[in-house]
C-alpha cells in the first residue's frame, strides 16, 4: 500500500503545489472543451465506430490527428484523464 506524499510544510512549497495544479488544469481544459464540441456532432450514445467519420472531419478541420479527437470526446464523457494519456 502506498502512503500519500507528505503535505507541503512551507508557504513556498504550498505555492509551488498550487501552481503545479493550475498548470495541470490549464493543460486539460482545452481537451475538455474540444471534447464537448465533439459531443455536439457525435453524441455520447454513438459508438466510437459510428462517430469516427464525423470526428475525422473535425480532426482535419482543427489540425489534430484522429486518435486525439476521440480521446478528447471520451474525456468529455468521463472526465478520466487516462483517456488522454497517449495524446497529450
What global pTM score does this model have? 0.78
Tally of structural domains, the chain:
1
Instruction: State how far the Cα of 81 lies from the Cα of 63, in Å rounded to an integer.
Output: 21
Chain segment 6-23, per-residue pLDDT in tens = 777 777 778 888 898 899
Range of the domain at 56: 15-84
Chain segment 39-87, per-residue pLDDT in tens = 999 999 999 999 999 999 999 999 999 999 999 999 999 999 999 999 9
Binning the chain into helix, strand and coil, the percentages to the nearest 5 are 70, 0, 30
- What contacts 66, CB < 8 A, 6 or more positions away? 52, 55, 56, 59
Residue 59 covered by a domain: yes
The pLDDT assigned to 72 comes to 97
Residue 5 covered by a domain: no
Q: What are phi and psi of 49, to 5 degrees?
A: -65, -45
Instruction: State how far the Cα of 82 lies from the Cα of 88, in Å rounded to an integer.
Output: 10
Residue 25 covered by a domain: yes
Amino acid at each position: 500500500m502506498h502512503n500519500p506524499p507528505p503535505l507541503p510544510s512551507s508557504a513556498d512549497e504550498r505555492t509551488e503545489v498550487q501552481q503545479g495544479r493550475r498548470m495541470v488544469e490549464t493543460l486539460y481544459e482545452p481537451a475538455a472543451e474540444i471534447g464537448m464540441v465533439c459531443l455536439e456532432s457525435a453524441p455520447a450514445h454513438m459508438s466510437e465506430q459510428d462517430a469516427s467519420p464525423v470526428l475525422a472531419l473535425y480532426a482535419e478541420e482543427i489540425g489534430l490527428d484522429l486518435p486525439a479527437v476521440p480521446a478528447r470526446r471520451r474525456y468529455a464523457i468521463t472526465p478520466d484523464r487516462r483517456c488522454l494519456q497517449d495524446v497529450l
